[in-house]
């Protein structure tokens, strides 16, 4: 009998959560010197979701995690490993996964966070996959979640228009060869770590230091033009490598779900890979850049819209601070 535990990992359940409150481009016009036309032309974003007062990261994690667990048809106690991918944790200590663990009821799960910025979810897929493949874990819950609007400098019109809050989750289980995650790869280039960063709040610039406050260091900083060029090249290059290793041609792919950074990047990566417009999924207009949450949110929405069904080939790819990037080819 074939041992599927050593073959691959499949997405057995999926879900997402977006805060009820939204922030439109018209709303932003009242906060910072910008316009709907300026934001839409450069990013494709029309609105983003924002956590409410009293709402924080773990609240998002629990909502999305509960959906994925229910969709997988398991009970929380059956989860063996629980990973939270985030760049905006609930607090520095302990891990957000540890705080969320009892609230989700995944009391038997080893729980920890993964920090790889916008690539965090795909990084977590690769980590979780290893434990499924070696047979030590049966159910792995992965949640990509962000409260980015809590770390946005609302005086910086180039970055404050980009980010939104939300969470997306999947449950991984064993799958036979030829199903689930077929190929996956990840990369890091720390020489470019200054392209996307949040310098303040750590041991270099503690949150209470005068320098940190005066220089507005506990906020997201981004070198936009430089990041755009590297992001397109990196995501397209790694995605092509993954497709080639799997022997899959662009026309064989049912759907391509890139990290929802901005519409220009999404279109540029899709074009470079030779995908038709209808193969490329985008929800950035309605949610903005939700970092590690963007791919599982987009994938869940694509499924609910009927654009992704069981057995379809889907590729996901992400790029974020680190710099980090990752791509995965999945038979959903």
Read off the pLDDT of residues 96-136 as tens digits, 9 standing for 90 and up: 999 999 999 999 999 999 999 999 999 999 999 999 999 99
What's the confidence (pLDDT) of residue 326? 98
Q: Using the predicted structure, report yes or no on whether residue 308 has a pLDDT greater than 80.
A: yes
Torsion sign, CA atoms 190, 192, 196, 201? positive
Q: Using the predicted structure, report yes or no on whether residue 232 has a pLDDT greater than 50.
A: yes
Tell me how far apart the alpha carbons of residues 67 and 179 are, in angstroms, rounded to a whole number. Answer: 22
User: Identical fold at 4-178 and 182-331?
Assistant: yes
Q: Using the predicted structure, report yes or no on whether residue 331 has a pLDDT greater than 60.
A: yes
- The residues annotated with a catalytic role in the active site are 118, 259, 289
Q: Using the predicted structure, report yes or no on whether residue 7 has a pLDDT greater than 80.
A: no
Residue 270: DSSP 8-state = H
Over residues 159-186, the mean pLDDT reads 96
Longest dimension (CA), the chain: 65
Over residues 220-245, the mean pLDDT reads 93
Q: Residue 11: phi, psi to the nearest 5?
A: -85, 105
If you search the block for the tokens 């993954």, which residue do you land on?
242
What's the confidence (pLDDT) of residue 211? 81
Lowest-confidence segment of 44-48, 76-80, 133-137, 143-147 by average pLDDT: 133-137
Strand-strand pairing, 81-85 and 110-114: parallel
DSSP string covering 40-93, please? HHHH---EEE-PPTT--HHHHHHHHHHHHHHHHT--GGG--EEEEE-SS-S-SS
Q: CA–CA distance from 81 to each of 59, 77, 88, 99, 142 (Å)? A: 19, 11, 21, 14, 8
Residue 9: DSSP 8-state = E
Domain ranges across the chain:
4-178, 182-331
Q: What's the chain's average pLDDT?
A: 95
Q: Using the predicted structure, report yes or no on whether residue 226 has a pLDDT greater than 90.
A: no
Tell me how far apart the alpha carbons of residues 61 and 238 are, in angstroms, rounded to a whole number. Answer: 29
3-state secondary structure of 8: strand
What's the confidence (pLDDT) of residue 5? 43
What's the confidence (pLDDT) of residue 2? 40
Tell me how far apart the alpha carbons of residues 46 and 235 are, in angstroms, rounded to a whole number. Answer: 24
Confidence of residue 65 (pLDDT cuts 50, 70, 90): very high
Residues 165-185, buried b or exposed e (16+ Cβ, 10 A)?
A: bbbbbbbbbbbeeebbbbbbb
Q: Are 172 and 328 in contact (CB under 8 A)?
A: no
What's the confidence (pLDDT) of residue 140? 98
- CATH code of the domain made up of 182-331: 3.40.47.10
3-state secondary structure of 216: coil
Over residues 229-255, the mean pLDDT reads 97
Q: Using the predicted structure, report yes or no on whether residue 33 has a pLDDT greater than 70.
A: yes
Q: Are 257 and 300 in contact (CB under 8 A)?
A: no
Over residues 55-82, the mean pLDDT reads 98
3-state secondary structure of 12: strand
Confidence of residue 1 (pLDDT cuts 50, 70, 90): very low
Over residues 303-309, the mean pLDDT reads 98
If you search the block for the tokens 């900083």, which residue do you land on?
221
Query: pLDDT above 70 covers what percent of the chain?
Result: 98
List, in sequence order, the alpha helices (H) in 90-223: 96-104, 120-133, 210-214
Q: Using the predicted structure, report yes or no on whether residue 32 has a pLDDT greater than 60.
A: yes
Q: Which two tokens stand for residue 211?
A: 């320098």
Over residues 304-314, the mean pLDDT reads 97
Over residues 206-217, the mean pLDDT reads 81
- Give domain 4-178's CATH number out of 3.30.1440.10, 3.50.7.10, 3.60.10.10, 3.40.47.10: 3.40.47.10
Confidence of residue 210 (pLDDT cuts 50, 70, 90): confident
Tell me how far apart the alpha carbons of residues 238 and 251 are, in angstroms, rounded to a whole number. Answer: 17
Nearest to 308 by CA among 319, 299, 317, 295: 299
Nearest to 72 by CA among 210, 149, 180, 170: 170
Over residues 245-261, the mean pLDDT reads 97
What's the confidence (pLDDT) of residue 4? 46
Query: pLDDT above 90 covers what percent of the chain?
Result: 86
């Amino acid at each position: 009998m074939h041992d599927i535990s050593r073959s691959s990992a499949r997405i057995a359940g999926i879900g997402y959560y977006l805060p009820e409150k939204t922030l439109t481009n018209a709303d932003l016009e009242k906060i910072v010197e910008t316009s709907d036309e300026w934001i839409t032309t450069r990013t494709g974003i029309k609105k983003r979701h924002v956590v409410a007062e009293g709402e924080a990261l773990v609240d998002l994690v629990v909502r999305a995690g509960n959906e994925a667990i229910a969709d997988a048809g398991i009970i929380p106690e059956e989860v063996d490993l629980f990973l939270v991918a985030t760049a905006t944790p609930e607090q520095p200590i302990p891990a957000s996964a540890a705080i969320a663990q009892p609230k989700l009821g995944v009391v038997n799960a080893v729980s920890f966070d993964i920090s790889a910025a916008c690539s965090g979810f795909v990084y977590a897929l690769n980590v979780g996959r290893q434990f499924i493949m070696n047979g030590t874990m049966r159910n792995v819950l992965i949640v990509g979640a962000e409260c980015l609007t809590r770390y946005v400098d609302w005086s910086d019109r180039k970055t404050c228009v980009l980010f939104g809050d939300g969470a997306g989750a999947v449950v991984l289980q064993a799958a036979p060869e030829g199903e689930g995650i077929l190929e996956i790869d990840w990369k890091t280039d720390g020489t470019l770590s200054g392209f996307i960063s949040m310098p303040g709040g750590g041991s270099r610039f503690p949150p209470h230091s005068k320098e940190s406050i005066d220089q507005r260091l506990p906020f997201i900083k981004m070198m936009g033009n430089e990041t755009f060029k590297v992001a397109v090249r990196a995501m397209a290059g790694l995605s092509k490598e993954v497709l080639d290793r799997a022997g899959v041609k662009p026309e064989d792919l049912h759907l391509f779900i890139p990290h929802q950074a901005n519409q220009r990047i999404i279109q540029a990566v899709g074009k470079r890979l030779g995908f038709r417009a209808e193969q490329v999924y985008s929800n950035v207009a309605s949610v903005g850049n939700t970092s590690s949450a963007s791919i599982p949110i987009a994938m869940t929405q694509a499924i609910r819209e009927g654009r992704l069904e069981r057995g379809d080939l889907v590729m996901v790819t992400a790029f974020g601070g680190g710099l980090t990037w990752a791509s995965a080819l999945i038979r959903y």
